Amino acid sequence: MTNKRLPNELYNVEQVRQAEIDASQTINGGLYQLVEKAGAAAFQWLQQHQASAKRVLILVGSGNNGADGLVLARLLVEHGYQVDVMGLLRPVNSSEYGQALQALQAVNVQVQSIDLDIFDKVDVIIDALFGTGLSRPLSEEFQSLIKGINRSSAFRLSLDVPSGINANSGVGVFAVAADATIVFGALKRGLFTYQARHFCGQIFFADIGLAEFLPETDTFRFDCHDIQGILGKRARHAHKGDFGRVNVVGGDLGMPGAVRLSAEACFRAGSGLVAVVSRPEHQHIVLTGCPELMFCSAEFIDMDVYHRLGWADVLVLGPGLGRQDWGQNLFKATSLSGKPSVIDADALNILSKDPVKQDDWVLTPHSGEAARLLDCSVEEIERDRFTAVKQLQQKYGGVAVLKGAGTLICDGKQTIVATVGNPGLSSGGCGDVLSGIIGAMMAQGLSPMQAAYTGVIVHGCAADKAAEKGERGMLASDLMEPIRQVVNSLG
C-alpha cells in the first residue's frame, strides 16, 4: 500500500537494515516475504499511476533491490503486461534474489543482458539496480548505463532509491533521474537533501511492515503541513507591540539591499516593529518602498546604536555586514547586547575567526560558510550534511540551519529536513530574506528551534508559490507577497 502523505520519520540505512532483519525473524519466509511485499507495492503503484503502460523494462542488480524488481516483473507478467527483464549478470549476492529469480523463471521469463536499444521502445523503465547498497561512486560502466536510462523518453520509476544516490547522505553526481521513487518500509534520510532532491522525482512510501521494528529516530522531514497552527490566531485586540521588535543589523557600504530585503521579509512574516541599523548613506534606499521600517544610522558604534540594539527583542545580524572594521565592531556590539539573534552571511564569517557558543541564537550558513565555521572543505560538508549540521550545533550551540536543497535544521536533540523550496532560490538576497523570516518567528514567541524550522519552511513554501511564474529569473523580492500568504495560512 502506498501513501500519498509521507511519514515524518527519517532513518539511516543501517537502522532500516536492522529493522528488516528483526522483522524477518517474526514472519514465515523471512526476508523474502519483505521482498514480495515490496514487489507487490510497486505493482500496485504502477496500476494506480501508470495504468496505460503496456511494455515495461525492469533493470535489476544482483541484490535485494534487484529481487524487488524480479517480484514486480513476475506480477506484471501474470497480469498480462509485456515485460523485459535485464540485469547486470554478475554473481548473485542475495538468497532473496535467487528465490525471486526462480519464481520469475516459473512464468517463463529470463533475465537478459542489458540492451540500450530497448530503452526507447518501452513505456516504463523500472530502476532496481542498486537500492541502498550503494556506498561508493559509480564506475564508468554504470555511468554509461545510467546516462542511457536518463536519455530515454520512458517514465522512470526507482525502487527504494534512485541508483547512484547514497541513501544516507543524498550524494549522487551520476544517478537515475527518476520521475518517481517508491520507498519501502522506512524513509531514507538522504533522499530529502542535496543532490537526491534532483534525482528522486516525486517520492511515495510503501508500508511493508517495518514500523514496529524501527528504532526511535531524531531525524524528521517537515513541510508546510507540519507547521499548521504554530503561530495561532491573532487576538482581535492585538497591537504591534504583541508581535515583537526586530533589529536587522548590517549593510556596509555598497550593500544596502541585503538589510532592506531581510527587514521587509521580517515585516511580511509578521513582526510588529522592524528597524534597520546600517550606514547612514543607506537610509533612503532602505526606506524607499517600505516606509514602515525604522532606520538607525551607524556610521560609528555610539550610544544611539547601543540604545537601538537594546530596544529590540531579537537581532538579525549579518546581511551585507562585510568583514571590515565597521562590520566587526557591529558584531561585537550585538554580541554584548545579550539578545536572541539570527546570525547570517558575513556575521558567520566573522564568527568563524573567533568561535563562541551561545544557546539562544540561530546560525544560517550555506555550505561555504559552514566549511569556514568548521574549518574544513565544502566537499566535506556536502559529503555528509547530516553530520555537518550536528557538528555546527555542537561547536556553536543554539540552532544550526545548513541551507541548501533540503535545508537541515538541528538543535542538538533532533534534525529536521525541510522538504520545500526550489532552484529559484539560487539568487542573491534569498538568504537575507530567510534570516528576516526566522527573526520574525522568534519575535512572535517561537523558540529558536521552532523559529528556525518554521522560517525555513515559510521561506521554501513562499518560493514554491513564486516559482509558479518560473524558477529562472526569480528574485528575492518576489518572495514578499507569497511570504504574507504563507504565514496567514498557519493560523
pLDDT in tens, 404-433: 999 999 999 999 999 999 999 999 999 999
With a CB cutoff of 8 Å and minimum separation 6, the contacts of 397 are 357, 358, 359, 361
CA proximity to 319, closest of 353, 281, 276, 357: 276
| Residue-level pLDDT at 89 | 66
How far apart are alpha carbons 167 and 172 in whole angstroms? 9
Query: Is pLDDT larger for residue 346 or for residue 94?
Result: 346
Q: Is the pLDDT of residue 147 over 50?
A: yes
Per-residue DSSP letter, 61: -
Domain 226-488 top-level CATH class: alpha beta
Structurally, at CATH architecture level, domain 2-217 sits in 3-Layer(aba) Sandwich (3.40)
CA proximity to 273, closest of 256, 249, 292, 257: 292
Query: Is pLDDT larger for residue 103 or for residue 91?
Result: 103
How far apart are alpha carbons 245 and 266 in whole angstroms? 10
| Residue-level pLDDT at 5 | 87
How far apart are alpha carbons 449 and 361 in whole angstroms? 9
| Residue-level pLDDT at 142 | 83
Residue type, 159: L
- The whole-number average pLDDT for the span 192-210 is 97
| Residue-level pLDDT at 310 | 96
| Residue-level pLDDT at 131 | 87
Strands (E), 131-225: 155-159, 180-184, 187-188, 202-206, 219-222
Q: Is the pLDDT of residue 137 over 80?
A: no
How far apart are alpha carbons 387 and 366 in whole angstroms? 15
Strands (E), 129-272: 155-159, 180-184, 187-188, 202-206, 219-222, 245-249
pLDDT in tens, 219-265: 999 999 999 999 999 999 999 999 999 999 999 999 999 999 999 99
Pull the grid cell for residue 285.
Answer: 534606499
C-alpha dihedral over 7, 185, 199, 64, to 10 degrees?
A: 180
C-alpha dihedral over 115, 119, 125, 127, to 10 degrees?
A: 50
> Coil, helix or strand for 390?
helix
**pLDDT tier at 132 (50, 70, 90 boundaries)?**
confident
What percent of the chain stands above pLDDT 90?
93
Residue ranges of the domains in the chain? 2-217, 226-488
**Is residue 228 a contact partner of residue 208, using CB atoms and an 8 Å limit?**
no
Q: Is the pLDDT of residue 2 over 70?
A: no
Q: Is the pLDDT of residue 1 over 50?
A: no
